[in-house]
């Protein structure tokens, strides 16, 4: 199914969870995820199913002052 | 040195470090280790899809380093809240450096929006360290609403000008009940020492270390200078006098 | 830090300390020990007949401390030579801080007489460290005739004003081939750090330590600040810029 | 015999040496001595005999900057 | 000098004067006349019942002097509006110096309340000159909402410290489209000259004239210094260089 | 202003001007006229054979301008005496600015040679104004041997750095009995105003006028600033205080 | 009748106008007047009748910065 | 005859005076002259005869600080 991740359109497995999406995208470091503007708690990443056209923000940490 | 207390947290070093603008993660690691800093800032950014390693910086931090995520890039209180929540979820910390800038040219903080943002973040349970202008009224207000410290600028971010207004910095230190952490604009260890001698509780340094020719040696120098300034402020310096006073005795000189 | 080389002598610390104006010998000992200094100045004075203990100060110095006798109180080159010889005979050292003042009010060095005195002492075999004005021409001449270092003032003795003329100090450092030791007038560790960041090889501090509320803590602070400034000068500081430059990345901010 | 020491008139044993004078004055720390404007080397303190009205300067070390 | 334009008003002098703290009305008159100023501030205060003469100060002003009533003493926008309306009714002027302080100790302006007050007064038809902090974001906002000028402080009111932060003052001058009038804290004519050389459009001086030993001579000195700084800024000063450059020709020297 | 007295000569203006580095004689004339200066320096140089017009500069000076020939280019007292005699013969003036530099790079005065030169010129009947370092001992000696004024530098010649060491300049002014004319290194009218506020009797300006974008306006600005500083020093400025003091009355505010 | 002027209680003629009050108080310079928190325009001073217990603020101009 | 003027060799009329030399060189402004290291007073310029190989310095005034 089609999702928007960080402003880009991608294809993901149907009905995958947030955790599934991270695995699908090969992301395994320390990240945080927003779905449609709402924070997804880490404890809920496995149980949160995604729907077509969900907008996701996946962030990590970079150097800053 | 007594520990620096920020909300429920304590730190042995009074040098906070930034992690931007280093040439490599290896340099970041070495410089932060040399600095003795126990608290460093990070920025929150979108992952670049296709990027193999995420948050590699986290693994590059020296052991025992605590993390202070910032809200750099946010222009409103609402955006800052959103970024702070993302950081808290990922890092399990309630600490946040609140940074809401007014424009991309001067990088000056937007003080009224920073006050609004601080209120929202405090209500949401954060330990808030707001970057702000060197305005005693703003600093007092930020302390009054519950910020764990205030972080007035020494000079524009990255300018290296040092403490351009020591008078107002002293005024802020006199008037604010929470720790004062001088942030932004310090150019060299001497500047950090000056800020501490004015009575600041800590300083935050990024560009002056990361963009030095030798960031590792510079980081160590900042660590020493901060401790020097801390000790000096408490040791009670001599007054400045326009005229001279002898240090060797005046009497008992050999005579012909 | 590389050792400080003064003639045939080497020292691990770049903080020289004075021993005047302390409230007790115990304080002198503790402060000098805390400073890390390896070379301290003493003055030569007539024994007070009937005084039971002589040169008690010498016994109060920390282990490993070397001695730099000064010629304080001398107003002519001839007097300085006489005092230097007395000190050499008693202390078995060829080191001498040459100090010839112009008047008891400003305590400014008499530069021409200092040049004459330096010539006489060098011919007599001394390793001469002359206290002098912050005049590049005088400093060059002192170096040219064979002084082991030059010791320009930061500000009037005991004033605590710090480096009142950083421009000329930098000029001296650029132009003089021997070590430059900034002497007199430093008020706080920040000043020492500044002198070292300008490229000085060492600083000499007396009143700012001895007359601080807590001389021991202040001595330690000066030791740290000197090392900070030494490292900083060699680590290549960032340039000063009138405008801001971001330390956090500009791209990749979370969007709505 | 009468000597001038550090500007003061004192009485010392006849024909005593510089070392003798120091002992007489109970001075035993690190000092240096001038006799009539001339430095007396430490090696010569025992052998240098003083004469009546010699002017001596005896110095030690005190705190200075 | 080109005239200073404030809203619909024009003034030949770029020195605005305050009328507080003079020892007598005679002195006020003489000093203001000597200054060449064409616009002076007054405060609005309750008449003391039983007082025979009211507003005697108005009669003491030099001929041709225009009046800029201030809102000194107001702590809120609402109070300021009330005082401004009283002044406008009595004096037939739409000019007002908006002054809303944050506390009676530092006398720092309350910037957010000043912005609110400026909006209210502008809507009510005033030509508003707001006293404010030296914060470029606040100054930009005040200009954007329609103030006829901004009046950032040089230093705390009455402190005489001069322009404590020339960097930020230059930044404000670069970024603000309306005239910048440096207000508060100037201590001597040199400070006024400096503010004008940084590009300020005018300065406002009160204590430094009124509390000088000779207010009349000092007023004249300020008038000259403001004109000097105005001309200098436009005449394009030479750059600062760390090294020397000869002013006499190097060639053609007489030879032996 | 009281006249400036230099030996037997009196001048209405306290701004001395240099004539080097102007782009044309027309500009020289206009700028000197605008400055109000009554005394300007000239250099002595070999005529270029074949040159049709000699000393055209003399004809370009404003009416009433007096001439102060300098000894620029001389490195010894003997050379300076020779040049001074040539100038005296041609110009019928006993005034001379004695300038003996130590090296062509820093253009610092050679103080001991300047003292020797001053002695020789004074014995030969000159009214000697020596350019010298900002060294109180040298300045006192120059005054003691009979110089009509001393001319300590503000900063290196042509650097435009301004008064880099106000502490020592004040010390010189306090200690020297003859007029103190601050020479070299002033960059803008504010610097001239500062020198006069420190108590200098006059200033000499060349590069800062001649090399400004608009030398004529800059010359006028310097003239005004010098007068401002002269008046200010005598009018007794307010003290500097770290805290604020109200200029508007605290009582009598309108109440609800 | 009783009025409050600048926080003080005073006695004024019954039903006097603002102008009347100023005359009564011997005030004739440049002043401005508020009545019960409302500005009284100069043009209206003669026609504005005061009532018992009116609160008036009468201000003038003093030195200020 | 040959003279050295300001370091340059020139030809001048035999036995001319300093004044004569200045005229010969078309110099008529405010100048001063040294002959063989000695200042020639203005009053003496007409009467001072030059000799072969005399070294002359002729100076004028230029801008300086």
CA atoms within 13 A of residue B15's CA, in its CB half-sphere: 31
The string of pLDDT tens digits covering residues F40-81 is: 999 999 998 877 677 789 999 999 999 999 999 999 999 999
Q: What is the rounded distance in angstroms from the CA atom of residue F204 to the CA atom of residue C53?
A: 59
User: Looking at residue A39, what is its pLDDT?
Assistant: 95
Check: CB of residue G42 under 8 Å from CB of residue G12: no
Closest chain B residue to the Cα of F172, Cα to Cα: B243
Arithmetic mean of pLDDT, H48-65? 93
Arithmetic mean of pLDDT, D44-64? 93
Check: CB of residue B41 under 8 Å from CB of residue B69: yes
Closest CA of chain F from H32, distance in Å: 5
Contact between B106 and E165 using a beta-carbon 8 Å cutoff: no
Closest CA of chain B from A40, distance in Å: 9
Arithmetic mean of pLDDT, C58-63? 94
Contact between D34 and B247 using a beta-carbon 8 Å cutoff: no
Closest CA of chain F from G40, distance in Å: 15
User: Looking at residue B54, what is its pLDDT?
Assistant: 73
Contact between B255 and D57 using a beta-carbon 8 Å cutoff: yes
B239 touches chain F (CB under 8 A): no
**DSSP type of residue F68:** E
Burial label, F51 (beta-carbon count in 10 A; 0-12, 13-18, 19+): middle
- CB-nearest partner of C167 from F136, F140, F164: F164
Among E237, E241, E243, which would you mutate to test the F interface (most chain F Cβ atoms within 10 Å of its Cβ)?
A: E237
Percent of chain H topping pLDDT 70? 100
Residue C52 clears pLDDT 70, i.e. is over it: no
User: Looking at residue F121, what is its pLDDT?
Assistant: 98
Quote the distance between the C-alpha of residue F21 and its chain's center: 16
Which stretch of DSSP H or E encloses residue D60? Answer: strand D55-63
User: Looking at residue C251, what is its pLDDT?
Assistant: 80
A65 vs B contacts (CB less than 8 Å): 18-21, 41, 43, 70, 72, 157-158, 184, 204, 206-207
User: Looking at residue F52, what is its pLDDT?
Assistant: 63
Q: What is the rounded distance in angstroms from the CA atom of residue E157 to the CA atom of residue F57?
A: 50
The low-confidence residues of chain E, meaning pLDDT below 70, are 52, 256
Q: Cα dist. C141→A58, C6, C116, E183, F110 in Å?
A: 67, 17, 11, 49, 11
The string of pLDDT tens digits covering residues F139-173 is: 999 999 999 999 999 999 889 999 999 999 999 99
The string of pLDDT tens digits covering residues G11-43 is: 999 889 999 999 999 888 899 999 999 999 999
E189 vs F contacts (CB less than 8 Å): 193, 197, 225, 228-229, 231-232
Closest CA of chain B from C41, distance in Å: 10
Closest CA of chain F from E15, distance in Å: 14
**HEC profile of chain A:** CEEEECCEEEECCCCCEHHHHHHHCCCCCCCEEEECCEEECHHHCCCCECCCCCEEEEEEEEECC
User: Looking at residue C32, what is its pLDDT?
Assistant: 98
Contact between A62 and C255 using a beta-carbon 8 Å cutoff: no
User: Hey, which chains touch G, using 3+ CB pairs under 8 Å?
Assistant: E, F
Q: What is the rounded distance in angstroms from the CA atom of residue B124 to the CA atom of residue E152?
A: 35
SS3 C16: strand
Arithmetic mean of pLDDT, B77-81? 96
Residue B52 clears pLDDT 70, i.e. is over it: no
Contact between E90 and G26 using a beta-carbon 8 Å cutoff: no
User: Looking at residue E243, what is its pLDDT?
Assistant: 82
Strands B66-69 and B95-98: unpaired
The mean of the pLDDT values for chain F is 94
Quote the distance between the C-alpha of residue E181 and its chain's center: 5
User: Looking at residue F256, what is its pLDDT?
Assistant: 63
Closest chain D residue to the Cα of C85, Cα to Cα: D39
Closest CA of chain C from A14, distance in Å: 24
Task: For CA atoms E116, E117, E118, E120, give the dihedral sign.
Answer: positive
Contact between G62 and F252 using a beta-carbon 8 Å cutoff: yes
Q: Angle at CA E232, nearest 5°, toward E228 and E237?
A: 145
Percent of chain C topping pLDDT 90? 86
Q: Give pTM, 2 decimals.
A: 0.91
User: Looking at residue E132, what is its pLDDT?
Assistant: 97
Contact between E164 and B167 using a beta-carbon 8 Å cutoff: yes
Q: Cα dist. B198→B40, B209, B230, F169, H6 in Å?
A: 23, 21, 9, 27, 63
Q: What φ, ψ does residue F48 adopt, rounded to 5°? A: -85, 110
For residue E129, which of E87, E95, E89 has the smallest C-alpha distance?
A: E95
Arithmetic mean of pLDDT, H16-25? 92
Burial label, E8 (beta-carbon count in 10 A; 0-12, 13-18, 19+): exposed
B/e letters for C213-223, b = 16+ CB within 10 Å, e = fewer, are ebbbbbbbbbb
D31 vs C contacts (CB less than 8 Å): 47, 54-55, 90
User: Looking at residue B215, what is its pLDDT?
Assistant: 98
Closest chain G residue to the Cα of E27, Cα to Cα: G63
User: Looking at residue F18, what is its pLDDT?
Assistant: 97
CA distance from start to end of chain A: 38
Contact between C58 and D61 using a beta-carbon 8 Å cutoff: yes
Mean pLDDT highest for which of B105-114, B202-211, F236-245?
B202-211
B247 vs D contacts (CB less than 8 Å): 64-65
User: Looking at residue C256, what is its pLDDT?
Assistant: 63
Residue F244 confidence class, pLDDT cut points 50, 70, 90? confident
Arithmetic mean of pLDDT, C218-233? 98
Q: Please list the active-site residues of B.
A: 97
Closest chain F residue to the Cα of C113, Cα to Cα: F112
C170 vs E contacts (CB less than 8 Å): 242
The string of pLDDT tens digits covering residues F172-206 is: 999 999 999 999 999 999 999 999 999 999 999 99
Check: CB of residue B204 under 8 Å from CB of residue B41: yes
Arithmetic mean of pLDDT, B38-44? 97
**Residue in the block written with tokens 């030996």:** F7
CB atoms within 10 A of CB G20: 17
Catalytic position from the list F97, F220, F240, F241: F97
Percent of chain B topping pLDDT 70? 99
The string of pLDDT tens digits covering residues C85-124 is: 999 999 999 999 999 999 888 899 999 999 999 999 999 9
User: Looking at residue B9, what is its pLDDT?
Assistant: 97
User: Looking at residue F203, what is its pLDDT?
Assistant: 98
């Amino acid at each position: 199914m089609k999702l928007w991740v960080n402003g880009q359109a991608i294809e993901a497995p149907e009905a995958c969870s947030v955790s599934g999406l991270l695995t699908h995208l090969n992301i395994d470091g320390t990240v945080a995820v927003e779905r449609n503007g709402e924070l997804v708690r880490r404890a809920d990443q496995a149980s949160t199913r995604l729907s077509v056209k969900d907008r996701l923000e996946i962030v990590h940490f970079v150097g800053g002052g | 040195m007594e520990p620096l207390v920020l909300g429920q947290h304590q730190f042995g070093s009074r040098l906070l470090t930034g992690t931007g603008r280093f040439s490599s993660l290896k340099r970041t690691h070495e410089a932060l280790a040399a600095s003795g800093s126990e608290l460093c800032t990070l920025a929150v950014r979108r992952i670049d899809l296709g990027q193999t390693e995420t948050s590699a910086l986290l693994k590059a931090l020296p052991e025992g380093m605590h993390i202070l995520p910032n809200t750099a890039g946010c222009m409103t209180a609402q955006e800052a809240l959103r970024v702070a929540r993302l950081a808290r979820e990922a890092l399990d910390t309630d600490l946040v450096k609140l940074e809401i800038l007014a424009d991309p040219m001067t990088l000056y903080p937007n003080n009224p929006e920073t006050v609004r943002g601080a209120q929202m973040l405090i209500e949401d349970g954060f330990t808030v360290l707001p970057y702000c202008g060197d305005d005693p009224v703003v600093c007092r207000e930020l302390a009054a609403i519950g910020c764990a410290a205030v972080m007035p600028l020494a000079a524009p971010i990255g300018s290296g000008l040092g403490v351009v207004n020591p008078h107002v910095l002293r005024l802020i230190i006199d008037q604010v009940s929470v720790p004062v952490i001088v942030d932004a604009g310090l150019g060299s260890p001497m500047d950090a020492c000056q800020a501490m001698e004015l009575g600041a509780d800590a300083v935050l340094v990024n560009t002056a270390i990361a963009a030095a020719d030798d960031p590792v040696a510079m980081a160590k120098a900042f660590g020493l200078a901060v401790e020097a300034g801390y000790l000096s402020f408490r040791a009670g310096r001599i007054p400045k006098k326009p005229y001279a006073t002898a240090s060797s005795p005046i009497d008992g000189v050999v005579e012909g």
